[in-house]
Amino acid sequence: MVQYSYFPGCNLKTNAKGFEETAIAVSKKINAELVEMPIWNCCGTVHTLTSDNIMKRIAPIRVLSRSKKHIETLKESPNQVVTLCSMCNSTLRIVNNEVRKNQDTLDKINYQLEEDEEVYETDMEVKHFLEILRDSVGYEKISEKVVNPLEGLKISPYYGCMLLHPEEAKIDDEEMPDVLESLVESLGAELVMSPLFKFCCGSYHIVDQEYIVSSQVEKIVEAAKRRGANALVVACPLCAYNIDQQQKAMAKNTVRKSPIPVFYFTQLMAIAMGEPVKINHFKDHFINPEPLLKDLGLIGRKKTK
């Protein structure tokens, strides 16, 4: 069993519990176990990187240095820290690249880390779990583990911004990505391509100018629905929250009365691999996916051998 040092980040412990629990469950099945770091702190968040301030880089570097220590306790672990949240992934990667290019910045940060008895030596790679699935595990191995093919689910992948941008932190081609597409197909679901796969979800505007988010979400969801999708798959907790929550508001306030559920990619994997339903935490979703899954006979069936 290969073990990976896993950095959760804030969302995975609050509104995206289903994302984390399903990820850990499926990671064991595919021989790429995610083991949570014993001590971790905030990734630093994406928006702090807009200021040229070394203080804002300390948090991500501390994560990387702690992850390095964590690896020593793991089995067959490569020098990689794995994230689930695409924003954490982007932040850690960008800062990792920055200190690799600039020894001076790294020295200053390491000086700050001294009192925690930490030091970072730029020898860690930041990986999104999707990259592990694509590059280290492989889709063939994933489809081998599928016991409950997702027949009937017509899934449109939605990448949002952080998986594909900026250039130095992207995990796939920014115009023609296929990591989520291939994953969806390997789980036996039908793939629905929508042109708005990376159209901004509205992001942080959810806290101050909600109308921006609702108009973005409407376009994203309608584009997918018009092409026949009955669910979306995402990798970012903020995208998931925005699309999920806004659809519920829309169903209440507008003529758009037929929302579609939003899945994290690991939830789809968990269902396809026959993991217990409760680890999905579907009750946290605004649009409950369970009726759709039951209609399609993907959950709630007695297992026949």
Partner 1 sequence: MKIGVYVCECGSNIASTVDVEDLVEQAKEFPYVEVSRVYKYVCSDPGQVLIKQDIEEKQLDRIVVAACSPRMHEPTFRAVLEDMGLNPYVLEIVNIREQVSWVHDDKSKGTAKAASLLKGAVLRASLMHPLERKKVGVTHNALVIGGGIAGIQASLDLADMGFDTTLVEKSATIGGKMSQLDKTFPTLDCSQCILSPKMVDVNRHPNIDLLALSEVVEVDGYVGNFKVKIKKNPSYVLADKCTLCDDCVPVCPVIEHDEYNQGFSPRRAIYIPYPQAVPASYLIDPNSCLGIDPLICSKCKDVCGPEAIDFDMKPEIIEKEVGAIIVATGYEPYPIENIGEYGYGTIPDVISGLDFERIVSASGPTDGTIRRPSDGKIPKTVVFVHCAGSRDPSKHLPYCSKVCCMYATKHALQYKHLVHDGTAINFFIDIRTAGKDYEEFYQRAAEEDQVIYIRGKVSEVFQDGDKILVKGADTLTGETVELHADLVVLATGLMPSAGTKEIASLLNLSVGMNGFIREAHPKLKPVDTAISGVFVAGTATGPKDIPDAVSSASGAASRAAGILAQDELEIEGTVAQVDEDLCRGCGLCAEACPYSAIEINAINKYGHALRVAFVNEALCKGCGSCAAACLNGAINQLGYTDSQILALIGALGEE
Interaction of residue 178 with partner 1, rule CB under 8 A: no
Cα 49 to Cα 84, 95, 108, 160: the distances in Å are 20, 8, 17, 19
Segment interacting with partner 1, rule: CB under 8 A, options 55-63, 170-178, 269-277, 290-298? 170-178
**Nearest CB to partner 1, comparing residues 174 and 210:** 174
- Residue 117 or residue 175: which is nearer to partner 1 going by CB? 175
Does residue 173 belong to the site contacting partner 1 (CB under 8 A)? yes
User: Of residues 72, 114, 140, 176, which one binds partner 1 by CB under 8 A?
Assistant: 176
| Identity at 235, one-letter amino acid code | A
User: Rounded CA gap, 155 and 282, in Å?
Assistant: 17
Cα–Cα nearest to 21, from 30, 5, 34: 34
Residue 254 Cβ vs partner 1, minimum distance, rounded to whole Å = 20
Give the shortest CB-158-to-partner 1 separation in angstroms. Answer: 15
Contact present, 6 and 37 (Cβ < 8 Å): yes
Minimal distance, residue 279 CB to partner 1, in Å: 36
128: phi then psi, degrees, rounded to nearest 5: -85, 150
Q: Which of residues 138-167 bind partner 1 (CB under 8 A)?
A: 167
Report the SS3 class of residue 185: helix
At CA 79, angle to CA 76 and CA 85, rounded to 5? 105
233 SS3 class? strand
Does 117 sit near partner 1 (CB under 8 A)? no
Q: If binding is defined by CB under 8 A, does position 295 make contact with partner 1?
A: no
Q: Are 34 and 6 in contact (CB under 8 A)?
A: yes
Interface segment toward partner 1; rule CB under 8 A; list 1-9, 24-32, 68-76, 172-180:
172-180
Helices (H), the chain: 17-29, 58-71, 86-101, 103-113, 129-131, 139-144, 179-186, 210-226, 237-253, 265-272, 290-295
Q: Does position 175 bind partner 1 by CB under 8 A?
A: yes
Q: Compute the least distance from the CB of residue 180 to partner 1, in Å.
A: 15
Contact window for partner 1 (CB under 8 A) among 45-53, 59-67, 169-177, 231-239: 169-177
Which span sits near partner 1 by CB under 8 A: 89-97, 101-109, 174-182, 292-300? 174-182
195 binds partner 1 (CB under 8 A): yes
Alpha carbon distance 191, 104 (integer Å):
47
State the nearest-atom distance from the C-beta of 67 to partner 1, in Å. Answer: 31
Among 62-70, 171-179, 267-275, 276-284, the segment contacting partner 1 (CB under 8 A): 171-179
Compute the half-sphere exposure of residue 153: CA atoms within 13 Å on the CB side of its CA. Answer: 34
Give min distance, CB of 196 to partner 1, in A: 8
For partner 1, the binding residues (CB under 8 A) are: 167, 173-176, 195-196
